[in-house]
Amino acid sequence: MLIGLALAQDGQDNFKKLLNEVQWTKGPATANLGPIAEIRLPKDYIAASGDDTRRLMEAMENPPTGIEVGFVAPQTFKWFVVFEFDDIGYVKDDEKGSLDADAMLAAIKKGTEAGNKERAKRGWPPITIVGWERPPHYNPETQNLQWAVRARSEDDLVVNYNTRLLGRKGVMRVTLVTDPSRLPEVLPEFGALLKGFSFTRGNRYAEWVAGDKVAQYGLTALVVGGATAVAAKTGLLKSLWKILVAAAVGAAALLRSLFGRGRKTEPAA
């Protein structure tokens, strides 16, 4: 049983209170992802700042990384995305033709074992990596690296669909969390959302100039280096949904009530 089902009433009430306290940006609007990027929110989408994202991660029993810059979801909350910016410098993509999926999966499993030690300290259930949902693929035209990992937390299967967007000063980590059964339905929506992402002027991959910081590793390390993050975020949607169900509040109904009361919005760009 996931920890969300076992929350005491005060824990459920605290989570609902947090959802009310988050300073949501409601689409249509442009939401800032820190000072480094932004994303256009369609109608019926919401976004939270990096600070509020960290609060949400803690509430959903996942250790924050400290580099969160945003949280985006449709108001239905059937899936959501966590954005984190890692300022490691410009990542060269010269490994694009030699990605070894088997070796990377083995490394991710090992990294997840390490991540489970942190989960155990907090009394949270461990994560087991089942395998690839989609092996790593890099698009050199968009500097977009994507892969999907299927994982299990006790009796629940969850997919983390990972995207790494390369920029001039580092990498935007984009983690889509959804139920595996929803992935075919969700991916087109997620892809449409990402079309509205852009690094701000001066931070784009093509704007790199000699003398800029260069990352000490390449595409392979972006995948296997995210193993701990995979362990941290796997199961988020299940936990969130069960917390809301345990509190006898439907996710869509709760979110509609929140966004019908004049939450923070920004004009569309």
Q: 3-class DSSP state for residue 193?
A: helix
Instruction: Answer yes or no: are the C-beta atoms of 132 and 147 closer than 8 Å.
Output: yes
End-to-end CA distance of the chain: 44
pTM for the structure as a whole: 0.78
CB atoms within 10 A of CB 119: 20
Q: Is residue 62 part of a domain?
A: yes
Report yes or no: 26 and 264 within 8 Å, Cβ to Cβ: yes
Residues counted in the chain: 269
Residue 269 resides in a domain = no
The pLDDT profile of the chain, 269 residues, written as one tens digit per residue, is 122 223 345 555 676 778 889 999 999 999 999 999 999 999 999 999 999 999 988 877 677 889 999 999 998 888 889 999 999 999 999 998 888 999 888 888 888 887 788 778 878 788 888 899 889 999 998 999 998 888 887 777 777 788 999 999 999 999 888 777 888 999 999 999 999 999 999 999 999 999 999 998 899 888 887 544 444 444 444 444 343 333 323 344 545 555 554 444 443 33
- Total count of domains within the chain: 1
Assess if residue 266 is contained within a domain: no
Say which CATH number the domain at 249 has.
3.40.1000.10
Are 111 and 233 a contacting pair, CB within 8 Å? no
What backbone phi and psi angles, to 5 degrees, belong to 41?
Answer: -95, 125
Q: Domain for residue 64, yes or no?
A: yes
Domain that holds residue 220: 3-259
Written as six digits, the tokens of 19 are 């959802």
pLDDT of residue 260: 53
Give a yes or no: residue 227 inside a domain.
yes
Whole-angstrom Cα distance, residue 238 to residue 218?
Answer: 32
Spacing of C-alpha 210 from chain mean position: 31
